[in-house]
Structures are given as C-alpha cells and as structure tokens.
Amino acid sequence: MKALKNSIFFLVLGLPFMLNAQQPDLPAEEVDVIKSFDARLADAERFRLDPELPPLDTSVRRQNYDLTTRSLEVAYLPPKIRPLAMPSNKESGELYDGYLRLGAGFPTSFLGEGYYNVSSIENFNLGLSAKHHSANNNKQVENQRFSKTAFGADGTYHFDQGFAVNGGLGYSSDVVHFYGYNDLNEDLGENFSFEPEQVRQKFNIFDFKASIFNGARTEADFNYYAGLKFYVMNDNYAARERGFDLLFSGTKWFDGTHPLTIELETDFTAYKDTANQSLNNFFLRPSYTFHGDSFSAKLGAVVASHDDNFTFYPDVELSALILGDVLGAYVGATGSLQKNNFRNLADYNPFISSRIEVRNSNYYYYYGGVRGNVQGIDYDAQVGYKTVDGLALFLLPDVYDTIPRFDVLYDTASIITIKASLSAPLFDGFTLTGAVSQNFFSLDREEKPWHLPSLEINAGVRYVTLEDKLTVRGDFYLENGVPYLNDDGDAENLNGLFDISLGADYFFTKNIGGFVQVNNLANNKRQRWFRYPTFGLNAMIGLVARF
C-alpha cells in the first residue's frame, strides 16, 4: 500500500509533464538524443569525478586492468549544440559494423569479445555484443580464478511519425572464488584446501529494458521519454534480487537554449536470502537551466520518498566564464537517495556475504571548482563537502573464517573531497590524461572507513602513429592501502597499489590487427580486500578484426 500510495502521489504531481521529456543519462541542457543505442565494446575501469555514493568504484578488480583515465567533459557555454541526427559514415569517417577481439595470456587467461551492428534496415539499428574474460592462477594461489561472461542485444527503431522505440536484453555471469583461506594458511601455518565447487560464487543477472522517446525534434520543441528497466539476479547461495525502474521524463526548450525538465521515477528492489527485504524509492526531479552569454544557472530540486518519508534535496549549479574558455568557475549543490542493493554491492565487492542488509545512502553534496582549456589542455579541479547517512563499509565478521566473506556495515559520515583531472593532447597523436582524488572521512560510529580508498591517482599516455595503424599506451595507477581490522581487532591499513601497465595495438591490414597488453609490471600483489591478494604480473596477446 505504501508503494501504491507514493506512486499515485508522484504520478499526480508529474502528470502535466510526462509528455515533455529528454533522453536520460545525458545533460538536458546540451543535447537532444535521437537514438539511445550504446555501442560500448568493453568495460573500462576509470576514475570518476561525479559524486556517487557509496563510492562503489570498480578499480583494480581481479585481473581486469583496463585502467583508462577519464578525459574531462568541459562544458563551455558557447556554442550550444543540439544535434538532430547521428552523423553518417561519410560525415564522421569510416565506420565498421563488426568488431572481434581474441586473446590469451598468463596466468592462464582467455579473452573473447565481439560486437556487430545491424544497420541495413531503414530506420533500424540493432547491436549484438558478447564478451568472455577468464583467468586461472591456481598453480600459484589455490582457487585464485575468475570468469566473466556477458552478451546482449540492443535495438532502436525510428518511426516516420517522429517517435522511436528502444529495447534491450542482456545476460551476465560473474564467477569468483573465495580463495582467502590461502592467506589464512600463511598466518596460522595451516593447510586448508578446498575443491573449486566448495568456494565458488556465481552471480547471474538477466536484464531487460524498453523505452519510447521522440526520435526527431518536435514542432513545440518538446522532448519526451518513457522507459522501464527490469533485472533478475541470483547467486550460488540462494540469494535472489529483482529490480524494476520506471522513468518518465519531459523537457520543454525555450528559445532553443533554456530547458525546463521534469522527471518522475519509481525504483523498486526486492531482495531475498533467508528473509525478504524491499527497497522502494520514488523521485520527482524538476529543474530549469538558463544559459547566458558567459554564465549558466540551474535551479532544481529532488523530491525523494522512501517508506512514506519525504526528503528534499537541492539540484542547483551556477557556472561562469571568467577568462573565456581559459578559466571558468562553478558552484553547486545536489543530493539524493542511492541504493545499496545486492547488485551494486556485489559488483563493488564480489566477496561479500549473501546475507546482507539492503539500504539507501542518503547524501548531500556541496561543491565548487574551476575548469577550462589552456592551449588545448582541458582541466577541472573541484573541492566538495559530502554528508552521507548510510555509507556502506565492509568487514570480515571473523578474520579466522576459512571461507572469508564480508559483511556490509552502514555508518553516517562527512567527507571532504578534493578532485582534479586533465586531458592534454601534447602533439599530434599523443595524449596525456590524469586524475587524482583525495577523500577525508569523518565517521560517527566506526573507527575507519573500512575497505574504502582515500587516495586514488591515475595517469595515462596514448600515442597513435603510422597513419593510425599503431597505438601505444601506458597507464599508471596508485591507491592507498585501505583500512581493515587485523587479527587482534586493531585498525591497520593493507598494502597500497602501485601499478604500471603497457600495451599496444597494430593493424597489419585495414581490417586485421594484433594487440599485446602487460599489466602490473611492479608485480604488486596488494590485498584490495583483506585475505584476497590480487593478481601480480600478467599479460595477454591476441588478434583484432574489424569489418
């Protein structure tokens, strides 16, 4: 009844605006989205500047070292571009419908990924993708292995009447093993040993989505969007989770520049292990953004409801150009409810217990910074203050457990954040990127932010030469040792991460090439999670085809 009552309340508030929407996931004040197909081929582990809670970063998970630094998206005020169509092959250079990548390496690892776009049917695009990545270091550390498989389809059809529909299906299987007992053997001088089936954890996720939106600019300059997402997740220990998200969004553009946006969202989660839990959130997000010649101002709010409790958050930002594109400044405030459901928590820490409490993080974030472009170098520097009720932390309930699995704890925290990022194309074909993030935690109950990093630094170089046939790249990643409770119950820090990786791609012909990637040259086997050392030096070589 609570969920039904909240749904009716938000539907009544949002009904006048449901036909005036923007495509979600992109800034309404900058673009009109014509098709929603996302042709990303591979997951990239990257530093994020956006405030997200809890800080469920995916950096340095097992052997996946695709550490790509994030290039800044510096939003200069003029000009204001609203594309009405996707560029054709002739306009954007030669494009390829298909992509295939196969590789193998050490410790015993395999990679296979592919993508194909069906675009031969008028007004229709269908993307098919598949990926498998696995590694087995059992010869060095018993049961240190993983396997991840995913495939999906995503299609969009544009009707002549001006609207478009999108749909997608996906499946992923993430297999890990609780090999932390090997570290316990070293500490206690024991010889615990398990068959793979005894310590295997497998997360299965089925995804479905569907949406309708305007596929062309309307005469009244309205954008509309209505979409739903649904997933089912289970693991090897009888945990099961279902999620359903329904979003209505509308945007009215004034003078083609100033957007008035209303979003209405209902987000349901049902989680079951030995008991049933639910986490249902409702959101109303109105906002208006005004763009002047040298400044922009956004005035908005987020109205959130959970268990019949309504909370109001700011969604405001003021930005101005001080020295043209060279220097701009901005200040803002935002906040919301963010879910700590089983899917999010297991993605961040795959070694968690299957019996957890799912809960919201209630956060406010106040920030200010500068950004700009100096002789082609994009930069952004930001200082912020964040308050969080329900920050997710991770601890082992028993450090001597032979199959270590983490409990999830929640605490109230204040966090001061300092972040900076840059992207520097120093000369033709050569780009340097870098990012740094420092968090200062102050917790109400817990002594330390268990297993959350405070300092992250990454940098990358990329050089494209030989008429775009050769790409050489290097990545550096540094992260502080995260806090944990040792065998005596005292707070300590695990070893930090110091990683240098090198790679290269070379196309022998127009369509066929090869790649080599060497990760963790320092052979750093730090424990990101207590009892679980990461892979050391690892490498992969393979072939690439595009067609």
Are 294 and 80 in contact by the 8 Å Cβ rule? The answer is no
Per-residue pLDDT band at 3 (split at 50, 70, 90): low
User: What was the pLDDT predicted at 252?
Assistant: 98
Q: Cβ–Cβ contacts within 10 Å for residue 484, how many?
A: 21
Nearest to 212 by CA among 156, 263, 169, 251: 156
Euclidean distance between CA atoms 166 and 153, whole angstroms: 11
Chain Cα centroid distance, residue 449:
21
Who wins on pLDDT, 462 or 46?
Answer: 462
Task: Give the pLDDT score at 41.
Answer: 32
Burial class (CB in 10 A: 0-12, 13-18, 19+), 102: middle
522-545 pLDDT, tens digit per residue, is 999 999 999 999 999 999 999 999
The pLDDT value given to residue 81: 35
- 376-432: pLDDT as tens digits: 999 999 999 999 999 999 999 999 999 999 999 999 999 999 999 999 999 999 999
User: Each residue of 492-519: pLDDT tens digit?
Assistant: 999 999 999 999 999 999 999 999 999 9
Mean pLDDT to the nearest integer, 342-349 = 98
pLDDT at 78 over 70: no
Could you give the CA distance from residue 372 to residue 369 in angstroms, rounded to a whole number? 11
Average confidence (pLDDT) over 273-302:
98
Distance separating alpha carbons of residues 378 and 359, to the nearest angstrom: 38
User: Averaged over 145-153, what is the pLDDT?
Assistant: 98
Q: What is the mean pLDDT of the chain?
A: 87
Query: Higher model confidence: residue 380 or residue 58?
Result: 380
Which residues make Cβ contacts (< 8 Å) with residue 480, sequence separation at least 6? 453, 454, 455, 456, 493, 496
CATH number of the CATH domain containing 519: 2.40.170.20
pLDDT for the residue 49: 33
In the chain, the amino acid numbered 164 is A
Measured between alpha carbons, how far is 55 from 479 in angstroms, rounded to an integer? 14
Contacts 24+ apart (CB under 8 A), 309-313: 311/337, 311/362, 313/364
Residue 18, pLDDT above cutoff 60: no
Instruction: Classify residue 361 as exposed, middle or buried by CB count within 10 Å of its CB (0-12, 13-18, 19+).
Output: buried
Please say whether the beta carbons of 162 and 216 come within 8 A.
Answer: yes
CA atoms within 13 A on the CB side of 436: 6
- In degrees and rounded to multiples of 5, residue 24 shows phi and psi of -70, 170
pTM: 0.84
Residue 73 bridge partners (DSSP): none
Q: Is the pLDDT of residue 332 over 80?
A: yes
Q: What is the pLDDT of residue 94?
A: 73
Residue 46 has pLDDT above 70, yes or no: no
As given in the structure block, the two tokens for residue 461 are 């170089």
Say if residue 80's pLDDT is above 70.
no
Structure-token pair, residue 313: 């958050």
**Residues in CB range of 498: below 8 A, 6 or more apart:** 477, 478, 522, 524
Nearest CA-CA partner of 416 in 459, 447, 383? 383
Residue-wise pLDDT for 443-478, tens only, equals 999 999 999 999 999 999 999 999 999 999 999 999
pLDDT of residue 422: 98
User: Is residue 243 scored above 70 in pLDDT?
Assistant: yes
In the numeric block, the tokens 């987020």 are attached to 302
> Which uninterrupted H or E stretch holds 438?
strand 430-443
Peptide bond into 350 cis (omega under 30): no
Q: What is the extent of the structural domain holding 406?
A: 2-546
Contact indicator for 60, 477 with CB cutoff of 8 Å: yes
Contacts of 320 (CB under 8 A, 6+ apart): 294, 295, 296, 328, 329, 330
Phi/psi at 241 (nearest 5 deg)?
-140, 140
pLDDT surpassing 70 at residue 57: no
- Rounded distance between C-alpha atoms, residue 412 and residue 493, angstroms: 21
Residue-wise pLDDT for 107-134, tens only, equals 999 999 999 999 989 999 999 999 999 9
CA atoms within 13 A on the CB side of 199: 23
The single residue listed with the structure tokens 């928590």 is: 345
Structure tokens at 266: 């209902």
Tally of domains within the chain: 1
Name which of 463, 494, 456, 453 is nearest 477 in CA terms: 456
Q: Are 498 and 514 in contact (CB under 8 A)?
A: no
